[in-house]
Structure 1
Amino acid sequence: MNRDTKTPSYPFASGGWGSLKAVAKILLQEKVPLKDSAILLKQNKPDGFMCVSCSWAKPADTHAFEFCESGAKATAWDTTAKRAPPEFFNRNTVTSLLQWHDHDLEETGRLTAPMRYDTATDKYVEVSWDDAFSEIGRELGSLDPEKVVFYTSGRASLETAYMYQLFARMYGCNNLPDSSNMCHESTSVGLKEAIGVGVGTITLEDFDKTDLMFFFGQNVGTNSPRMLHQLQHARERGVPIITFNPLREPGLVSFANPQSPRDMLTPAETRISTQYHQVKTGGDTAAILGICKAVIEADDDALRHGRPRVIDTAFIDEHTTGFTGFATCVRSTSWEEIEQVSGLGRAALLEAATDYMRANAVMAHYGMGLTQHRLGVQNVRMLCNLLFLRGNVGKPGAGPSPVRGHSNVQGQRTVGVTEKPELAPLDQLAKQFSFEPPRKKGLNTVEAFEAMVKGEVDAVVNLGGNLVRSVPDRSQTEPAWARLRLTVNVATRLNRSHLVHGEVSYILPCLSRIEFHRTPSGEQAVSMEDSTGCMHGSRGVTEPASDKARPEPYIVAGIAKATLGHRSTVNWDVWCDDYSLVRDEITKTYPDIFHDFNSRMWEPGGFHRPIPAQHRQWKTKSGKAEFLVTYSLGEDPDMPDKFPEGLRLMTLRSDSQFNTTLYSLDDRFRGVKGSRMVILMNKVDIEKRNLAEGQKITLQTIADDGIDRRLAGLEIKAYEIPEGCIGGYYPECNVLLPLWHYAKESKVPGAKSIPVRII
């Protein structure tokens, strides 16, 4: 454990002047006029728009500036003055654009008109909306629905997502993969098995009642900076925060609040983590099991000596099953094995356990550092085991807290975007819309690309995102994508997925939720769900980037009408004219969640979906919260013992990045400027291999499937990371991630522990 409050690469607190400078820089870079930059004051406010970046909770009592650096960058990206009009595509062939850097492609600005790929000229050319819908409808009508994939990235509104899933099912398939498949599907599976619901149980109110917080594999300073407000307030009242993360991230070390005159005008800052444990990549299950072992050993000792019990026996007896088997597993696991796999000493884990045993209400925050592993579901289940030991689910200030990424990735699942038919209310949809939904399981994201590589997918409709760049195994998946018959991309900016095109390919420019959605019925509002399960309304506040761009509901409706024709029982025109009618149908489909949707969506702080586990109601197979007996202590079964020179690569995002969107090539928190072709490596590993900082290396994946995966031109940067572990940027390192290297139960790609070697 390291208790320093600074990092070698960024010796300042997160937030502060560095954050303000970054916001000013992005506004200047995107040429956002002063009058438009004022819309930031409307961000995450009940009378404004919900951030298009992360999905962190929106408070009822807002700050004057209810946006963070990352959110400001996302807003500037959508409100940019830069444009990519048809003339841009007329000047550039697709072949030439494929040579551009991903950052430069998006930096061209907002798309302004619908475009169709022209084979003869190798260019995208402008087309009318009617012609685009007509041809897309003809193409989809000629294909086998089971060979068509409908992907969505997570930024679409609840209204759009509901329309989209309904269209796909009326068309005839459940192929509805989304970005959750790539990150938090391990949460959806793991929490569902453990507590009966696939989402977290905490709300913002719990931060005022908690006694201790854990962080596992979640970089709050980059991925959800607004959460730092809650962490700062908790620390001010003495709440310990115990962090487990391979890298020392500034946002989890200290924070200077940009809204605090004290923090901005003095050296004041808030120390966030009271304990910071740099667990080995892939060592989370071992670390959590070590804390559990310390708790159970303390309880055994208390039982022997007649002292009060350490574990919550009343909770365990009444509300759980499987404790005896789990406790036996924990007792039989040696401290030596725990230390070796976790990379942490017994003393460090005992220190974390001691604070845990003192606390009455504990919440556990986590991110993709837990979920994107081969045993990602086990990681989530282990975290639940830890919470169960002391009854830390279903009471104020306690519970699991998965911190999700995209601003509505959780919400689109709530309204039916899922490949799993058992998770969608198919009987209700059949009754409501007089059609027979398909019952066959659809394709998730990994399965879609597995089928694509085999030639078993003919078309992909992308509702946002940059799917070609975000998936693993680029050398296998990009050629497969280029062999598709049809690719349709609904987007705000140009990206790689539009250029690695199908035989027939369209780019359809959509409005951002920040922009006015004007229809003959008037200005329309949309809604989304945050990561704490609260639903919020969102109003546009600025003019559209183009008079030819269209709202997402309009685009989904246009494709649906052209494809389904007389088979459709939905009046799509009425829906895309008046979004409140869509919300009325959502209410009918999900009355327990969305009753009085149109009025409740404007409640300050949002309205909360029912989560039975909050009330200790367990919708599991057993009817109780379920302990899991771990089936493997290490998370990396693909690291062969015969390769002692092997390293574990974890992919990372930078502070100038949101998913595949790169706002710049710098990462100020890690001291990286002007390039993302960087590998973070422990000094001991550098010296052991007779390498030098600044040296260029090539990484090769350790695998025995006959495919040579390698990435050259990576510059070594010495960094505080555990020995045997290295870090590299996503999506650049995706080429090293095999498509089959995913979590067993959830198929989330194992991007946080890729076995590689230097060649």
Structure 2
Amino acid sequence: MAESDTHVRRNVAYPYSSGGWGSLKAVTGALVHEKVPLRETTVLLKQNKPDGFACVSCSWAKPADPHTFEFCESGAKATAWDLTARRMTPQFFELHTVTELCAWHDHDLEDAGRLTAPLRYDAATDKYVSVSWDEAFEDIGRELRALDPKRVSFYASGRASLETSYMYQLFARMYGTNNLPDSSNMCHESTSVGLKAAIGAGVGTIMLDDFEKTDLMFFFGQNVGTNSPRMLHQLQDARKRGVPIITFNPLREPGLIKFANPQSPVEMVTPAHTVISTQYHQVKTGGDTAAILGICKAVIHADDRARERGEPRVLDVGFIEEHTVGFEAFADYVRVASWDDIENVAGLPRADLEAAADEYMRANAVIAHYGMGVTQHRQGVQTVRMLCNLLFLRGNVGKPGAGPSPVRGHSNVQGQRTVGITEKPELAPLDKLASQFRFEPPREKGMNIVETFEAMIEGKVDAVINLGGNLVRSVPDRARTEPAWRKLKLTVNIATKLNRSHLVHGEKSYLLPCLSRIEIDMQAGGAQAVSMEDSTGCIHGSRGVAEPASADARSEPFIVAELARHTLGAQSTVDWQRWRDDYALVRDEIARTYPETFHDFNARMWTPGGFPRHLPVRERKWETKSGRAEFFVPESLGEDPDMPMRDARALCLMTLRSDSQFNTTIYNHDDRFRGIHGDRMVILMCEADIDRHGLKKDDRVTLQTISDDGFERRVAGLRIQPYDIPRGCIGGYYPECNPLLPLWHYAKESKVPGAKSIPVHIVEVNGVPRES
């Protein structure tokens, strides 16, 4: 399809291709800003290579035959962020109180550099002060032994390796709790629940070689140009052989429109580029279920007509009859669904959805990629199930070139679940752990992130151990959660840099500096390596190549082992010190716990392209309740009956990341893809809504959440920025807009915060209150 087609209109905010010179300039700027020595820039040549380190940002797959530069702009920024020449020594903290640092911007806190020594909060001086590792471990262990394990939460960021994650979950369970919330609770828990119910596995089914075999790809709510740019190489190759790509996304994102490959001399010195999306449909925020229903309706209607005429069937009847249950109930629902309702909720005309269905019916192997634009909604699980329904209609699961593809963010967020990081005891191999390590694991359900903070607000949590991340900033309802966090008896933070969670501290707080995955990890057993699982379910080894930022920093496995050793003492059957010294011993135990996936772990971890985890669904073996793939009938088309859009003034806010951030880490205040520079306090709004609300570009507004729970949630000082986004929908940055998101506004079944659909009113313009 030609670039001039109406489905791929030019993005007025960023009229150029993603990638290209803009990407190279951004990478160079990041390296210069962080003062990365020239010799260290060669580290990038080892990024995502079989003999190097796995990127510390996204979890996209690592090919067996990598490019010379197997990193993207986002990954290079993350590497530069870790390799910075700046340091936060104990002398820095002598000069700054915690109260003073609380006034710093989140970007400035991390930009100040790498942490170099263990620190303890001193209430008398309101400062973090230096402490020895032994003192820190002894005191933390003593504090934990005095607490009820059921009132302690062990949070894990998705950057932690498989080895660290396995040790961490074992430590928590030996301590006596299943309180193991993790970053997946914030993003793809809707995937874990929805796919598990539909196909029997809570992860995607595709691998990299499926890109070479697919005939069509869908994208729903996933901005590849910002969140997983290396994927653009596979998309470009697919487009060059004529594979259509159909995108559903409220905002027009450059990475899904066209791409200039920075590794192509032709595309770097000419206007050449590859059109990515052959159809681009700007679905209304929360309208994905309706859009998918419209496609399904067109497909089933075409099949009904073919059957009436005695023509070849459109549906894969053999697959449906042999491998699925629930088709007739779903088909009956689809047949009676109103096109008027579908168009209204999706915000798309019937013709657009039928155009997408026509492409779908012509394809034999289809991949459905999606991201948090699907999962972070009240009906997030339902939409995941609807995507599966669409794939089932033509047998697009469990065959080459086809399947669901949830695109994860954190580099090992999927893998840590694979090795036991979960609050759900039924998903952990508790019987195996019990026999393997001769202890009785707790059997009651633990708390996920939402439940942890609900309990914290009620005064039912005493301590939180943070294995990476910036939990205080990433959770909703800041005005309620931060005061509750400050009342904790103990907060322990394992981190590379200072962030907000370390400053909003508990009564007793420790800051433990860890190595980055990029850095050489030398232990008593020699140089160590770790491993991660990517979004396609392949496991890779990762070996640090840069000199550590500080001789006093410790690796994550070292810190977890010492915390466990000082807390559990003689009651533990694990020789944590040996594990600390030699991670191969940890991998041996992982292989014993999960033999189907991790057999011969140490021998296979350096396999180019990784080795795949055991997924029976790839062979059409369905570990569901029925033993088959399960169709699902949606309960409603509307996004959120609990927080309705009550009047004509109401707007639906979705929170966004910029191209200059990774989750809560903000590299700078620009978002060049959206034409924004030096300002993150921005609201993206279409021209029609700007006129309708009597606003103009650069007006500063205050948003207030529409809710009846008695709490007023406001964010002020947000600048109006015109953007191509559907009427009634607006966008604002995460985490700046998190205070508008109620803690109780989450996806049914998965409890993923509903950050992509927050009903709001504009209550002030340029400081002047608006009439209600």
Question: What is the TM-score of this pair, normalised by structure 2?
Answer: 0.98
Q: Does the CA contact (< 8 Å) of 1:195 and 1:620 recur in 2?
A: yes
Structure 2 residue aligned with 1:454: 458
Partner of 2:60: 56
Residue 727 of structure 1 aligns to a residue whose secondary structure is strand
Match of 1:272 in 2: 276
Deviation (angstroms), 1:675: 1.0
Separation in structure 2 between the aligned mates of residue 638 and residue 725 of structure 1, nearest angstrom: 18
3-state SS in 2 of match to 1:540: coil
1:738 aligns with 2:742: yes
Q: Could you report, residue by residue, the CA deviation over 1:279-298 in whole angstroms, capped at 9, with x for unpaired residues?
A: 00000000000000000000
Alignment partner, residue 692 of structure 1:
696
Distance 2:686 2:327 in 1: 39
What is the aligned partner in structure 2 of residue 89 from structure 1?
A: 93
User: Does the 8 A contact of 1:639 with 1:646 survive in 2?
Assistant: no
Deviations 1:695-729 (A, max 9, x none): 00000000000000000000000110000000000
Asked whether the 8 Å contact 1:312–1:389 carries over to 2, the reply is: yes
Q: Secondary structure at the match of 1:116?
A: strand
3-state DSSP of counterpart to 2:529: strand
- Match 1:229 to one of 233, 239, 242: 233
Q: Compute the displacement of 1:6 (Å).
A: 2.5
Aligned pairs (5 A) from 1:52-451: 52-451=56-455
Query: Which residue in the other structure is 2:529 paired with?
Result: 525
Residue 588 of structure 1 corresponds to: 592
Deviation sequence 1:29-57 (CA, Å, 0-9, x none): 00001100111000000111010010000
Which whole-Å deviations, capped at 9, do the CAs of 1:669-704 have from their partners, x for residues lacking one? 001111100000011111111111110000000000
| Partner SS state of residue 732, structure 1 | coil
Q: Is 244-253 or 606-615 further displaced after alignment?
A: 606-615
Q: Does the 8 A contact of 2:8 with 2:279 survive in 1?
A: no
SS in 1 for 2:627: coil
Q: Identify the residue that residue 634 of structure 1 maps to in structure 2.
A: 638
2:487 corresponds in structure 1 to: 483
Q: Deviations over 1:395-435 (max 9, x none)?
A: 10000000000000000000000000000000000000000
Corresponding position of 1:511? 515
| Separation in 2, partners of 1:236, 1:642 | 46
Encode CA deviations 1:199-225: one digit per residue, 9 max, x unaligned.
000000000000000000000000000
Find 1:501's aligned residue among 492, 495, 505: 505
Looking at structure 2, the residues matched to 198 and 521 of structure 1 have their Cα atoms a distance apart, in angstroms, of: 36
Q: Which runs of 4+ in 1 moved over 6 A?
A: none
**Is the Cα contact below 8 Å between 1:2 and 1:277 reproduced in 2?**
no
Q: Retained in 2: the 8 A contact 1:453–1:476? A: yes
**Paired residues of 2:192 and 2:202 also in contact (CA < 8 A):** yes
Corresponding residue of 1:606: 610
2:767 paired residue number: none
The alpha carbon displacement at 1:636 in A equals 2.0
Q: Would you say the 8 A contact 1:6–1:13 is kept in 2? A: no
Query: Does structure 2 retain, via aligned residues, the 8 Å contact 1:638–1:755?
Result: no
The 8 Å contact of residues 654 and 756 in structure 2, kept in 1 or not, is answered as: yes
Distance 2:188 2:452 in 1: 17
Q: Deviation digits for residues 146-176 of structure 1, max 9, x if unmatched?
A: 0000001110110000000000000000000
Name the residue aligned to 1:644: 648
CA contact (8 A) 2:685 2:731 kept: yes
Which residue is 2:769 aligned to?
Answer: none
Give me the whole-angstrom Cα distance separating, in 2, the residues matched to 1:130 and 1:405: 35
The CA RMSD over aligned residues, in Å, is 0.7
* Aligned partner (choices 26, 31, 35) of residue 30 of structure 2: 26
Q: Does 1:579 align with 2:583?
A: yes
SS at match of 1:618: coil
Q: Is the 8 A contact 2:645 2:652 kept in 1?
A: no
Runs (5+) with no aligned partner, structure 1:
none
Instruction: State the alpha-carbon separation in 2 of the partners of residues 686 and 609 from structure 1.
Output: 49
Give the Cα–Cα distance (whole angstroms) in 2 for the partners of residues 277 and 353 of structure 1: 13
Partners of 1:242 and 1:480 lie apart in 2 by 44
CA contact (8 A) 1:638 1:703 kept: no
**Matched-pair contact (CA < 8 Å) for 1:5–1:271:** no
Using the alignment, how far apart are the partners of 1:119 and 1:670 within structure 2?
Answer: 43
Q: How far apart, CA to CA, are the structure 1 residues paired with 2:737 and 2:645?
A: 23
Cα distance in 1 between the residues matched to 2:138 and 2:223: 45
The 5 Å alignment of 1:545-564 reads: 545-564=549-568
> What's the CA shift for 1:521?
1.3
Counterparts of 2:420 and 2:151 in 1: how far apart (Å)? 20
Shift of 1:5: 4.6
Asked if structure 2 preserves the Cα contact closer than 8 Å seen for 1:201 and 1:394, the reply is yes
Structure 2: distance between partners of 1:732 and 1:11: 26
Matches of 1:474 and 1:439, distance apart in 2? 32
Q: Tell me the number of residue pairs that the alignment of Structure 1 and Structure 2 aligns.
A: 759
Contact kept? 1:232, 1:270, Cα under 8 Å: yes
Q: Which amino acid aligns with 1:566?
A: A
2:425–2:443: 8 Å Cα contact kept in structure 1? yes
AA of the residue aligned to 1:100: W
Letter in 2 for 1:141: R
| Aligned 8 A contact 1:177 1:419 in 2 | yes
Q: CA deviation at 1:641?
A: 5.3
Measured in 2, the distance between the counterparts of 1:640 and 1:525 equals: 50
Cα distance change, pair 467–641 in 1 and its aligned pair in 2 (3 A):
closer
| Aligned partner of 2:544 among 533, 540, 546 | 540
What amino acid is the match of 2:608? Answer: P
**C-alpha contact 2:645 2:651 (8 A) present in aligned 1:** no
Q: Which amino acid aligns with 2:141?
A: G
Q: CA deviation at 1:643?
A: 2.6
Contact 2:491 2:509 in 1 (8 A): yes
Check conservation: 1:527, 1:601, Cα contact below 8 A: yes
Q: Which AA in structure 1 matches 2:231?
A: M
For 2:768, the equivalent position in structure 1 comes to none
Residue 2 of structure 1 deviates from its aligned partner by 4.2
Say which SS state the counterpart of residue 558 (structure 2) adopts.
Answer: helix
Alpha-carbon distance between aligned partners in 2 of 1:738 and 1:390, rounded to the nearest angstrom: 39
Structure 1 pair 386/96, CA: closer, same or farther in 2 (3 Å)?
same
Residue 640 of structure 1, CA deviation: 3.1
What is the distance in 2 between the residues matched to 1:666 and 1:645? 29
User: Which secondary structure does the structure 2 equivalent of 1:3 belong to?
Assistant: helix
The letter for the 1-side match of 2:691 is E
1:634 and 1:610 mapped to 2: Cα distance? 37
C-alpha contact (below 8 Å) 2:71/2:230 kept by paired residues: yes
Identity of aligned residues (%): 74
Instruction: Give me the whole-angstrom Cα distance separating, in 1, the residues matched to 2:641 and 2:85.
Output: 49
